[in-house]
Amino acid sequence: MKKTGPMRCRQMLAKLSSYIDEELDEATCCRLEAHLADCPPCVEFIKTLRKTVCLVHEAGKPRPVPARAHKDLQAKLKACAAQLQKRR
Amino acid sequence: MRAAPKGFRPIQKGTIAEMEGAERELIERSKAGDAEAFSSLVRAHEDKIFTLARSVCAGLPAEAEDVYQETFLTAFKKIATFRSDASLSTWLHRIAANLCFMRYRKKKAEPFVPLLDEPHKDGEGHRQFKDWRLTPEEAARKHELGAAVTKALASLPVEYRLVLTLRDIEELSNEETAKILGISVAAVKSRLHRGRLYLRDRFGELMGDEKP
């Protein structure tokens, strides 16, 4: 039987990532939000989970490949191509 | 930006179909042993692969550079086996993810702290969560925060780091992540959720939450 009442804190925890990624179906989302309406600590928990995702995203922002590493790779690729050519 | 070496034909900006066509042509030339064509493919994909390597090899830049180089060397050696109807980006990500996994799978030293059963305890006084929006003072500590994130990521097992990197840094879908890692979508979601909760707890200490 499909659950319809508001969720408890424990049930909600399991759904949080899907909630912040907007992947929950409408019915589950409504139950979760009904719980949030009455549970300020869970609202705060969600805020900090969202912030966690932001911090990870910020920390992983793309940076260019170091020029030395790129140059080393080009030299290795040339050597590798020459070896493969010899085998053919 | 680095200038393209003489004789290179970088992939030009254009419609998706044109870009795909240009990439297909470079792949075919690479299959015939053309290192210059392969170098153009490296240029088009290296930033994403390096981002993955840098995040998974958290705090170890020399290892990240090794993974980046090994990924493209492996790809060049195996390009003949690459199916023309597949996505080159997915294939390169899979090679890089495998290299990261092989490198870290034996390092089981990282203890994975048990996760919470509930976001907070009922009754006995709620744990207080500080507002995590960056204050000007914290914004000034951005570098310090970045280092703390790297440290927290490094304390996660590699399977979790890979999922968090692909989903929360590279912003790939659950399906793309599952395809790259060769696991189910349910496993991606589960690792992502557990990994985020673990990091949230670690960052809580950093951002000044009260201990439960």
| Residue A62 pLDDT grade (very low, low, confident, very high; cuts 50, 70, 90) | confident
Closest partner residue to A56 (CB to CB) among B38, B69, B149 is: B149
Higher pLDDT, B144 or B188: B188
Average pLDDT over residues A65-71: 95
Average pLDDT over residues B20-30: 88
Q: Do B54 and A63 lie within an 8 Å CB cutoff?
A: yes
Q: Do B46 and A78 lie within an 8 Å CB cutoff?
A: no
Q: Is the pTM of this model over 0.90?
A: no
Asked if pLDDT for residue B94 goes beyond 50, the answer is yes
| Residue B1 pLDDT grade (very low, low, confident, very high; cuts 50, 70, 90) | very low
- CA distance, residue B84 to nearest chain A CA (Å): 21
Closest partner residue to A45 (CB to CB) among B51, B120, B174 is: B120
Higher pLDDT, B8 or B181: B181
| Residue B8 pLDDT grade (very low, low, confident, very high; cuts 50, 70, 90) | very low
Task: Assess B48–A contact: CB distance below 8 Å, yes or no.
Answer: yes
Higher pLDDT, B136 or B83: B83
Average pLDDT over residues B22-51: 93
Task: Write out pLDDT tens, residues A16-46.
Answer: 999 999 999 999 999 999 999 989 989 989 9
Average pLDDT over residues A50-57: 89
Task: Write out pLDDT tens, residues B109-143.
Answer: 455 554 555 666 554 334 444 444 556 666 667 77
| Residue B4 pLDDT grade (very low, low, confident, very high; cuts 50, 70, 90) | very low
| Residue A6 pLDDT grade (very low, low, confident, very high; cuts 50, 70, 90) | low
| Residue B18 pLDDT grade (very low, low, confident, very high; cuts 50, 70, 90) | low
Higher pLDDT, B15 or B74: B74
Interface of B with A in 173-212 (CB under 8 A): 174, 189, 192-193, 196-197, 199-200, 203-204, 207, 209
Closest partner residue to B120 (CB to CB) among A41, A49, A69 is: A41
Asked if pLDDT for residue B7 goes beyond 50, the answer is no
Output the CA angle A64-A66-A70, nearest 5 degrees: 105
- CA distance, residue B35 to nearest chain A CA (Å): 6
| Residue B187 pLDDT grade (very low, low, confident, very high; cuts 50, 70, 90) | very high
Chain B interface test: which of A22, A54, A70 (most B C-beta within 10 Å): A70
Closest partner residue to A77 (CB to CB) among B76, B118, B203 is: B76
Closest partner residue to B47 (CB to CB) among A64, A72, A80 is: A64
Please give the pLDDT value at position B137: 67
H, E, C per residue of chain B = CCCCCCCCCCCCCCCHHHHHHHHHHHHHHHHCCCHHHHHHHHHHHHHHHHHHHHHHCCCCHHHHHHHHHHHHHHHHHHHHHCCCCCCHHHHHHHHHHHHHHHHHCCCCCCCCCCCCCCCCCCCCCCCCCCCCCCCHHHHHCHHHHHHHHHHHHHCCCHHHHHHHHHHHHCCCCHHHHHHHHCCCHHHHHHHHHHHHHHHHHHHHHHCCCCCC
Residues on A contacting B at a C-beta cutoff of 8 Å: 9-10, 12-14, 16-18, 23, 41-42, 44-45, 47-49, 51-53, 55-67, 69-70, 72-74, 76-78, 80-81, 84-85, 88
Is this prediction's ipTM beyond 0.85? yes
Of all residues in chain B, what percent carry a pLDDT higher than 90? 51
Task: Assess B137–A contact: CB distance below 8 Å, yes or no.
Answer: no
Please give the pLDDT value at position A63: 84
Higher pLDDT, B7 or B143: B143
Asked if pLDDT for residue B14 goes beyond 80, the answer is no
Q: Do A41 and B127 lie within an 8 Å CB cutoff?
A: yes
Closest partner residue to B118 (CB to CB) among A9, A48, A69 is: A9
Of all residues in chain B, what percent carry a pLDDT higher than 70? 70
Instruction: Give the number of other Cβ atoms within 10 Å of residue B164's Cβ.
Output: 28
